[in-house]
Structure 1
Amino acid sequence: MNPASLSHLWPVPVPVFEKSEMNSLQSHSWHPSLIRVSAHSSSANYSGNQPRFPQLAPVTTPTTRISRDSTRPRKKSSPTNDKSEAQELVRLLMRKFTDKEPLLKTLNKYVKMVRTEHCFLLFEELGKNDKWLQCLEVFRWMQKQRWYIADNGVYSKLISVMGKKGQTRMAMWLFTEMRNSGCRPDSSVYNALITAHLHSRDKTRALAKALGYFEKMKGIERCKPNIVTYNILLRAFAQAGNVEQVNSLFKDLDESFVSSDIYTFNGVMDAYGKNGMIREMESVLSRMKRNQCKPDIITFNLLIDSYGKRQEFDKMEQVYKSLLRSKLKPTLPTFNSMILNYGKARLREKAEHVYKSMNDMGYKPSFITYESLIYMYGLCDNVSRARELFDGLVVSKVRINVSTLNAMLEVYCMNGLPMEADVLFERASSIQVLPDSSTYKLLYKAYTKANMKELLDKLLKHMDKDGIVPNKRFFLDALGAIGSLPAKSGSTSATTRSSRSQDFAKSS
């Protein structure tokens, strides 16, 4: 499909929206399908050329120039706000949870204050910290309180938390427990159960289970599938590349009393786009147009990112122009995606032009923007420019994220500069950045590939000292290469190093 033929899918300009429609569209800007640019390394060679970079002042300016990807102002929490008070109490409870003061003891201490809304927030916080067993403790504690009334909302939340942590059996047990307690399941409970199954590793079985629940819901009046059900299933099958099932679900949706919404189309297009299924993505875009569902900024961003990843830049630029002609405005992910994808194609000048346009339009770069620029220069064989950007951030005294450190380290590694990577790694503590497991993994692979035994030994010592215990896969990816390395006089042998690596793997 050439760019011109895209006009029947994406008219230029896009339809003019009324003010009320704009408010509706803007309300979707925090939808989970918002594109986040993820950078991947590729092989490149070091080049000392330093091109002119337009408007570099933001790199070394004070911290006020750095923003997050959100363009929405944050609301200041009010002390009198009920939600704020509930969140404050939950934060207090989370701080009190220690080995010396167990969870139940803390809850009993604050028993006069804790209610259902606090427990809901506790479920979320404990789930984020991988403490799903403690979620069950809170649940059992709730059941003993006078104010507790069994309802579907509590079970839906717990099933959702268990699903996200891969605890499908526990989610099923909670579903059974709910029915035994006298609660009658509704659509929200089944939606949570379907989502829980879709988080399991066996995707084929999970999708089959999800369809089974979907068909069961159709036969229960109070559990009829709603738009959330369809959105969950459509996105899941699109991610699995099952076009036939997606079409079947769309047909079923058209025949039901449920109407598609913007999340329906964005979710499916995003899944297809991430899988490189551009033709299928465009087919859903056509369907969206036929349904007279107006695009939001998420729609534009996912199309820009999908075309960019496939290096179909003519289409990407056409969508971007449509966005500029609409009443919507680009967001930071719009620019970050274009910068990185131009970089992957080694189109440095175009990437720089996007950055200049972004600044001219008054957007403040975020850390993701700088990371995208650093990767772009690394991919374009210009390590010195990437290093200049990173050093500018350090000099500006802003807090450096570990992801930004990893971006610079990966630029060194992809350009065959392991010694420079080691120097920066040793500097990390002086710029107040704590390496994470991703840091160690990328360095481990790079040092192994470069046959740098001394650096590898030093890295293993750092891992041991910092308590980094990687999983088996971490080492299995590199053990073959390490075992084949020739032994070098005066250094740890390859056999010994392999043995140490296996010890780490066994302990995980």
Structure 2
Amino acid sequence: MSMSCASFPSYKGISCGWSPKRKKISHNSEAVELVRLLTRTISDKEPLVKTLNKYVKQVRTEHCFLLFEQLGKDDKWLQCLEVFRWMQKQRWYIADNGIYSKLISVMGKKGQTRMAMWLFSEMRNTGCRPDTSVYNALITAQLHSRDKPKALAKALGYFQKMKGTERCKPNVVTYNILLRAFAQARNVEQVNSLFKDLDESIVSPDIYTFNGVMDAYGKNGMIREMEAVLTRMKSNQCKPDLITFNLLIDSYGKKQDFCKMEQVFKSLLHSKERPTLPTFNSMILNYGKARLKDKAEDVFKKMTDMGYTPSFVTHESLIYMYGFCGSVSRAVQLFDQLVESKVHINVSTLNAMLDVYCLNGLPQEADSLFERANRIKIYPDSSTYKLLYKAYTKANQKELLDKLLKHMDKDGIIPNKRFFLDALGAVASLSANSDSANASTDSNAANFESANSKTHSSTPNSKSSNVTAGSKNPQDFANLATHGKSYLTHL
């Protein structure tokens, strides 16, 4: 049963247990500098191996570890394998679990599950015996695969194998990975089973255990389950940290349970922790989604009164808030102030303003801003084109779609198949729901998706007023399919 506002647990009463800190890996500054030099030197023109050979007298295992991390971040997982093969040819190379664990982790994050499995097999063939860290990396890699039910089943299989192998016993990291994954999958029964297993083991949960599960439940809107984990956390004498407060504030805000959200915020102010910009950004955005403009503005005022400087995310949250509340002029005013201030404006801020126009049925205004973006030194990227393509498709703005496609062609933007499938889905959604397309949305729209399905405002731009949203004309699909076909032939 969901807790009432009055019964929300007070954090003041939680005794202060030991809160473990994440161990930070420190790298030699010279090693970091050498890796920076290597990554700058590596290019498509010069083979990676040739670059490594130039620095063969300096590069060692620690440099390769850093290279794996950087190449992984740059989405260059194939080059990680090149570095690995180069390592194996060096005299100083010794097969090591840590190397394989790092590579498996990188491959997993990039969705290369088969490659991660191949590395695991090769590791065993070289005589290395898997340990807990390797299995943790392998489980994480499996969980990145698209077939989630199969991935979860395999992860549990590895978990059981670890429990039966002396040198591979699950540690707190293992439990944290699995608990969060099953919470994300909404499998409450398995989460409870893992907690029971954890209680019976010699492993003690830490703050990351509880935060990970609560965050997953909260993002799924499973408030009752989230609160049950909060109670478990309290019984384990584990003190909430800033992440705990922030995820609770965000979860309650998304559910529009503002009574509990505000109470958690008050508890945060009375704790040893201090709010961060994400704390305020979340509250502003969630008040905005509920169209509580005054409340959102009060949060922003409190933030500035406390000495915080708004970030670009804060500005985007405010722009969206005004958009959700139908105050497009205030959103425009804020955006223009940012432009006039000469500060660097991220493309995500441009996207926020464009989205607000589209949410409020003003595609022509969105087009005008898009056209002047380069003049104000904000350069659209593929995310901008995708946003506008979907918005124009939903609004059945054929002329704007054609114009946008010409821009995409000119700027060399070649979308993938998913780009057009999403757009076709938008048209299908409109056609299937055309009878209700002109109905006003719920004034308490709980999330971005519901707000994104709003129809045109009652006073659309004159150029767009001649277009009927939600047309059932099959030609809409034919035209869009033609656009897609012409682009997909280039892929």
TM-score category of the 2 structures, normalised to the smaller one:
0.7 to 0.9
Match of 2:4 in 1: 3
Q: Which amino acid aligns with 1:141?
A: W
Match of 1:117 in 2: 62
SS of alignment partner, residue 154 of structure 2? helix
Q: Which amino acid aligns with 1:424?
A: L
- C-alpha distance in structure 2 between counterparts of 1:481 and 1:194, whole Å: 36
- C-alpha distance in structure 2 between counterparts of 1:302 and 1:378, whole Å: 24
Answer yes or no: is 1:166 the counterpart of 2:111.
Answer: yes
- C-alpha distance in structure 1 between counterparts of 2:379 and 2:260, whole Å: 40
Provide Cα deviations, 1:11-36, integer angstroms capped at 9, x if missing partner: 25354759xx6xx57x56x99xxxxx
- C-alpha distance in structure 1 between counterparts of 2:315 and 2:183, whole Å: 32
Match of 1:195 in 2: 140
1:336 corresponds, among 276, 281, 289, to 281
- Aligned-pair CA distance for 1:134: 1.0
- Aligned-pair CA distance for 1:311: 0.4
- Aligned-pair CA distance for 1:500: 2.7
The question of whether the paired residues in 1 share the 8 Å contact of 2:14 and 2:234 is answered with: no
The question of whether the paired residues in 1 share the 8 Å contact of 2:172 and 2:203 is answered with: yes
Cα gap change, 1:470 to 1:283, in 2 (>3 Å): same
Answer yes or no: is 1:392 the counterpart of 2:330.
Answer: no
1:317 corresponds, among 262, 277, 283, to 262
The question of whether the paired residues in 1 share the 8 Å contact of 2:424 and 2:480 is answered with: no
SS of alignment partner, residue 13 of structure 1? helix
- C-alpha distance in structure 1 between counterparts of 2:29 and 2:409, whole Å: 41
The question of whether the paired residues in 1 share the 8 Å contact of 2:253 and 2:282 is answered with: yes
1:152 corresponds, among 97, 116, 128, to 97
- Equivalent residue runs for 1:7-156 within 5 Å: 7=8, 10-11=9-10, 13-15=12-14, 83-156=28-101
- C-alpha distance in structure 2 between counterparts of 1:480 and 1:160, whole Å: 34
- C-alpha distance in structure 2 between counterparts of 1:187 and 1:448, whole Å: 50
Q: Please say which of residues 97-106 and 403-412 is displaced more in the overlay.
A: 97-106
Cα gap change, 1:312 to 1:482, in 2 (>3 Å): closer
Provide Cα deviations, 1:126-156, integer angstroms capped at 9, x if missing partner: 1122211111110010011111111111000
Match of 2:485 in 1: 502
User: TM-score, normalized by length of structure 1?
Assistant: 0.84
Q: Which amino acid aligns with 1:428?
A: A
Match of 2:183 in 1: 238
Match of 2:455 in 1: none
1:368 corresponds, among 313, 323, 337, to 313
Provide Cα deviations, 1:242-266, integer angstroms capped at 9, x if missing partner: 0000000000000000000000000
The number of aligned residues is: 445
Match of 1:445 in 2: 390
Identity %: 76
Provide Cα deviations, 1:316-373, integer angstroms capped at 9, x if missing partner: 1111111111111111111010000000000000000000000111111111111000
Cα gap change, 1:444 to 1:217, in 2 (>3 Å): same
Provide Cα deviations, 1:384-434, integer angstroms capped at 9, x if missing partner: 101111111111111111111100000000011111111111122122222
Cα gap change, 1:329 to 1:480, in 2 (>3 Å): closer
- C-alpha distance in structure 1 between counterparts of 2:4 and 2:294, whole Å: 22
Provide Cα deviations, 1:111-133, integer angstroms capped at 9, x if missing partner: 11111111111111111222111
Match of 1:303 in 2: 248
The question of whether the paired residues in 2 share the 8 Å contact of 1:413 and 1:446 is answered with: yes
- Equivalent residue runs for 1:177-192 within 5 Å: 177-192=122-137
Q: Which amino acid aligns with 1:11?
A: S
User: What are structure 1's unaligned runs of at least 5 residues?
Assistant: 32-80, 487-492
2:374 corresponds, among 389, 408, 429, to 429
- Aligned-pair CA distance for 1:457: 1.0
Match of 1:293 in 2: 238
- C-alpha distance in structure 2 between counterparts of 1:220 and 1:129, whole Å: 36
SS of alignment partner, residue 484 of structure 2? helix
SS of alignment partner, residue 501 of structure 1? helix
Cα gap change, 1:497 to 1:249, in 2 (>3 Å): closer
Q: Please say which of residues 216-225 and 119-128 is displaced more in the overlay.
A: 119-128
- Equivalent residue runs for 1:483-502 within 5 Å: 495=478, 498-502=481-485
Q: Which amino acid aligns with 1:91?
A: R
- C-alpha distance in structure 1 between counterparts of 2:181 and 2:490, whole Å: 35
Q: Which amino acid aligns with 2:94?
A: I
The question of whether the paired residues in 2 share the 8 Å contact of 1:16 and 1:326 is answered with: no
Match of 2:326 in 1: 381
Answer yes or no: is 1:356 the counterpart of 2:301.
Answer: yes
Cα gap change, 1:143 to 1:302, in 2 (>3 Å): same
**Higher RCO, 1 vs 2 (CA within 8 Å, ≥6 residues apart):** 1
- C-alpha distance in structure 1 between counterparts of 2:237 and 2:391, whole Å: 50
Q: Please say which of residues 421-430 and 234-243 is displaced more in the overlay.
A: 421-430
Q: Which amino acid aligns with 1:367?
A: F
- C-alpha distance in structure 1 between counterparts of 2:422 and 2:87, whole Å: 46
- C-alpha distance in structure 2 between counterparts of 1:99 and 1:265, whole Å: 44
- C-alpha distance in structure 1 between counterparts of 2:355 and 2:64, whole Å: 42
- Aligned-pair CA distance for 1:239: 0.2
User: TM-score, normalized by length of structure 2?
Assistant: 0.86
The question of whether the paired residues in 2 share the 8 Å contact of 1:3 and 1:314 is answered with: no
The question of whether the paired residues in 2 share the 8 Å contact of 1:305 and 1:337 is answered with: yes
Q: Please say which of residues 108-117 and 301-310 is displaced more in the overlay.
A: 108-117
- C-alpha distance in structure 2 between counterparts of 1:139 and 1:448, whole Å: 46
Q: Which amino acid aligns with 1:83?
A: N
- Aligned-pair CA distance for 1:183: 1.0
- C-alpha distance in structure 1 between counterparts of 2:426 and 2:271, whole Å: 53
Match of 1:45 in 2: none
- C-alpha distance in structure 2 between counterparts of 1:464 and 1:105, whole Å: 36
User: What are structure 2's unaligned runs of at least 5 residues?
Assistant: 432-466, 469-474
- C-alpha distance in structure 2 between counterparts of 1:378 and 1:258, whole Å: 48
Match of 1:61 in 2: none
- Aligned-pair CA distance for 1:480: 6.9
Answer yes or no: is 1:455 the counterpart of 2:400.
Answer: yes
Match of 2:410 in 1: 465
The question of whether the paired residues in 1 share the 8 Å contact of 2:15 and 2:237 is answered with: no
- C-alpha distance in structure 1 between counterparts of 2:226 and 2:335, whole Å: 36
SS of alignment partner, residue 373 of structure 2? helix
Match of 1:68 in 2: none
